[in-house]
Structure 1
Amino acid sequence: MLERLNLALEHIERHLDREIEVEELARVAATSEYHLRRIFSALAGIPLSEYIRCRRLTLAAAEVLAGRETLLTIAVRYGYGSGEAFARAFRAMHGIGPGEARRTGAALVSQPRMAFRLAIEGRSTMRYRVVDKADFTVVGLKTRVPLVHTGPNRAISDFVRGIAPRTLTLLEELSDQEPHGIIAVCDDLSPHRAENTELDYYHGVITSAAAPAGTTTLDVPAGSWAVFTASGPVPQAIQELWRDVFTEWFPSNPYRSRPGPEILRTRLSPERTEADAELWLPVEPERR
């Protein structure tokens, strides 16, 4: 997997001065466009589109300082339809406009070229299973929240605290399918998975029963799910589990992510500082 990702990175470098289709990058990486975006953002720490943009502006900056071509020529080469659009993007990355940078020889920002390599860190074996599950329905309460990669998600915490205990009891009694009990479901995530992009959050259960008044439903089609377990402090253990799945498990196993909701079931300690977590991610076999 890492070898194919590096081929995609080489393709990006060869085509920075022309249009780059993510569909073509996925073909080079021998995976789906959806999985390529997911795995890239997890490994690189930034969305794929952001990396391409920053690499283009890094090369453009070198040409601006060299002073051999007009700013408009450089702008067009790197995909900007006007000098004004190029100047805005240039300033957003480098903190200075291209004309001023050329006149003053200012120090500019550089996005280094990336390459993915396997690092052996001696972590414990990851516990997982793959489950084929028929279509099912999530019943619960829904809100729209920002994506937070590290630390508590205040929007989710505030939403859950506002749910009446009797509502949670009613929902839990409806749970009749795995994963059992109250679950957290994240759906409609941006494929870029950038910090603070919004997603749909459901707090509810999986059930075949009718939805009670005041709740909402999410219908999930049949498919395969990779189920991972972890224990530790909240929320670090859960966030590290998600990170390890995408940076270690996917590159080492013949599966790729597919579109669908992510499901998390947690069991908190009496002090609510530790948790046993079970993470369900939609997957499909990686085509060879």
Structure 2
Amino acid sequence: MQYYQQIQKAVDYIERNLQKEIGMRDIASSASFSPFHFQRLFLAISGFTVQEYIRKRRLTEAARLLSDSDEGILKVALAYQYHSQEAFTRAFESYFGMTPGKYRKKNQAFASQPPISFLDDLGRKDQEFEMGKPEIIHKNRIRIIGCEYQTNLNEGRHYRDIPGFYDEFGRNGRYLHLPDRLAPDMVYGVSCRFQDDGGFSFIVGEEAGECAEVPDGQYIKFDLPEGKYAEFKAYGPAWNIQKMRDFIYGVWLPHSNYDRGEGPDFEVTDVRNSTFPEDMRIKIFIPLS
């Protein structure tokens, strides 16, 4: 439950600093999270990115100031961290459907983003989606050889990118060049190398023997660390898999008695027994401390 309280501290920090330049590290630090983990939790629980929330809150407060005062548009733009009136006008028009000048003349309420309260979610159990309880297991170190791709949490880019990474890996026969394949029907997807700006690496590959040599080209080796993991069975249509990932971070983890440990998340697809896209057989592993 303290996850929601911690994230609320970050929301309150954002609210106090809408008219200041704020970095993701400072926001996450106010909630005692790493920048990447904070962004992932925020997205899973709220449905939008931290950057999107800040942008909407700033534009909402800028619109309020335009309506309630005679401040010049440039001064309002600068107050809410836009470096030019032109940039502010583009963002404002994209959000409200009209320029700041027209908005001021209309003098009526439009759609806006109020401050959100994560404390409202303290007792929430996801009404739209449920998945089985995970099994808490210990896993030994696993060596993966595969291909590394880059994506980002911002604007939900990873939702679009990750299916394409699997497609590229399979369509181009990358798996055919993997050495010492210990489980050829099991494809790993590893989220790792997390960055403060929301960027991360996604490795698609297979388990390999300890002495396997990495092929030339795009291939790399990556060791999944030994440790305690929550193992979730994500069975069903492909379009539900991302919902399952969001459920894990947005509902299960905050309501569990566990903290996420250091290290990568990973998922394992049973290729032989999966039928894309109607019936996937995937296990998702989250490290626990």
Q: TM class by shorter-chain length?
A: 0.7 to 0.9
Matched residue type, 1:183:
Y
Matched residue type, 2:259:
Y
RMSD: 3.5
* Structure 1 position 128 matched with structure 2 position 156: no
* Alpha-carbon contact 2:36-2:194 (below 8 Å) kept: no
* Structure 1 position 119 matched with structure 2 position 128: no
Matched residue type, 1:155:
G
In structure 2, the residue corresponding to 1:149 is in which secondary structure?
helix
> 1:249: which partner in 2?
252
Q: CA deviation at 1:188?
A: 5.2
- Separation in structure 1 between the aligned mates of residue 149 and residue 25 of structure 2, nearest angstrom: 32
- Separation in structure 2 between the aligned mates of residue 168 and residue 18 of structure 1, nearest angstrom: 49
Matched residue type, 1:31:
F
> 1:149: which partner in 2?
159
> 2:48: which partner in 1?
46
CA separation of 1:212/1:24 partners in 2, compared to 1, >3 Å: closer, same or farther?
A: closer
Number of residue-to-residue matches in the alignment = 274
Q: Deviations over 1:81-121 (max 9, x none)?
A: 33223222222322322123223447643112211213135
1:267 maps to which of 255, 270, 275: 270
Q: CA deviation at 1:32?
A: 2.2
> 1:24: which partner in 2?
26
Gaps of 5+ in 2: none
* Alpha-carbon contact 1:229-1:278 (below 8 Å) kept: yes
Identity percentage of aligned residues: 24
1:280 maps to which of 278, 282, 285: 285
Q: CA deviation at 1:153?
A: 6.0
> 1:61: which partner in 2?
63
Q: CA deviation at 1:37?
A: 1.1
* Structure 1 position 159 matched with structure 2 position 168: yes
* Alpha-carbon contact 1:139-1:207 (below 8 Å) kept: no
Q: CA deviation at 1:49?
A: 1.6
Q: CA deviation at 1:60?
A: 0.4
* Structure 1 position 185 matched with structure 2 position 190: yes
Matched residue type, 1:274:
D
In structure 1, the residue corresponding to 2:213 is in which secondary structure?
coil
* Alpha-carbon contact 1:137-1:217 (below 8 Å) kept: no
